[in-house]
Structure 1
Amino acid sequence: MDTSSTIDAVRRGFRAIAIAFVIVTLIPLLLGFLFSVPTARVLSLIVSTLLLQANAVFVGVGFGLHPGFILAVMTLVEVGIVLAIYEILDVFAGQSKRVQRFTKSTEEKMKRYPILHRYGAATLIVLPMLPVIGLYSSVVIGWLLRWKKVPSIFFITLGWVLVSGFLLLVALGFVRVVF
């Protein structure tokens, strides 16, 4: 590995961190400022989203935050993290011969299933809803299967908004879940 590729990898790593910081932290804090939401509550919702994923809606409702604000902040956190993970995975793919071989092997296997290659990204809508897979793994799955980035991000975000919106309705008492 030469020096220029190492420097490029470090630069892209910092870019991923910057993307995450701006979208995950600064924009929600700005929204909180605009809507007079205390900074501690905004930061708590951000951290809760990072740790609890879609279940963080219960934290936001517990803080008495407006449902639209909760959904907006949680979606910003999701988009920032998804973009950062994609960037980090691309850095690993560019630096590691092992990862390059694995992704090439995956691409070859995907060619055997053209329908999965064509419509595969749409399946990512379901993954953020699954407790075992969740948000972070859905990004990795979409990336490993080499689905196009923009549709993958769109469908992951759509799934995220759907599951977060449903849990928000549960938290607000509009939907009753009985087990």
Structure 2
Amino acid sequence: MNLSGAVIWLRQAAEALAFIMVLSVLLPLLFGSAAGIPAGRVLTLVGSTVILQANGAFTGAGLGMEPWEILVIMTLVALGAVLGIFAICDTFALTSKRVRTFLEKAEKSMQKFPWVSKYGAVSLIVLPALPVIGLYASVVIAWILRWNRFESVLFITIGWIGAVIFVLLLAFGFISLVF
């Protein structure tokens, strides 16, 4: 990697880190402060969300937080992660010839299925809820397939909110998976 590649990499890495820190940590802390939630509880929920994804809602419920508070914090964490992962993927595309070659091959393959390019981003509503794929892989799939960034973030967020609401319903006993 030459000097210009290193500068691009550092700039992109800073952008990714900014998305993650501001949206996933700072805004949840500010929201928690405004809602009267101790910072330790907010950070515990943030960490649980990063590790457990939608299942982090169980942690928020166990900490005695209200469902809407959990949903807001977890959605902010998800948005930070999604935008951060997009920025990280962009970094690899800008600095790695191997990644660019892979993307060109993927794009050629996708030209055989124009409907996937046009409507594929809608599938991102379901992907964050799937245990094998989850939130993080949904972003990478959208990035590799070069789906519209705004639509991808929108549909991933809608899917994320649905998954978190489902887990919240389980956590607060509104539904049960065991009869």
Q: How does 1:49-128 map to 2 (within 5 A)?
A: 49-128=49-128
SS of residue in 2 equivalent to 1:9: helix
Question: Partner residue of 2:21?
Answer: 21
Q: How does 1:95-174 map to 2 (within 5 A)?
A: 95-174=95-174
Q: Is the 8 A contact 2:128 2:156 kept in 1?
A: yes
Letter aligned with residue 21 of structure 1: M
Moved over 2 A (4+): none
Q: Which whole-Å deviations, capped at 9, do the CAs of 1:64-122 have from their partners, x for residues lacking one?
A: 10111100000000000000000010010011100000000000100100111110000
Q: Percent identity?
A: 48
Post-superposition offset of 1:35: 1.1
Q: Which whole-Å deviations, capped at 9, do the CAs of 1:17-38 have from their partners, x for residues lacking one?
A: 0111010001000111111111
Q: State how many pairs are aligned.
A: 179
Question: Partner residue of 1:40?
Answer: 40
Letter aligned with residue 74 of structure 1: M
SS of residue in 1 equivalent to 2:23: helix
Post-superposition offset of 1:4: 2.1
Letter aligned with residue 129 of structure 2: M
Post-superposition offset of 1:178: 2.2
Q: Is the 8 A contact 2:8 2:94 kept in 1?
A: no
Q: Is the 8 A contact 2:28 2:73 kept in 1?
A: yes
Letter aligned with residue 75 of structure 1: T
Q: Which whole-Å deviations, capped at 9, do the CAs of 1:150-176 have from their partners, x for residues lacking one?
A: 101111111000010011011111112
RMSD: 1.0
TM norm structure 2: 0.97
Post-superposition offset of 1:177: 1.5
Partner Cα separation in structure 2 for residue 15 and residue 43 of structure 1? 22
Post-superposition offset of 1:46: 0.2
SS of residue in 1 equivalent to 2:173: coil
Q: Which whole-Å deviations, capped at 9, do the CAs of 1:35-59 have from their partners, x for residues lacking one?
A: 1111110000000000000001110
Structure 2's unaligned 5+ residue stretches are: none
Letter aligned with residue 142 of structure 2: G
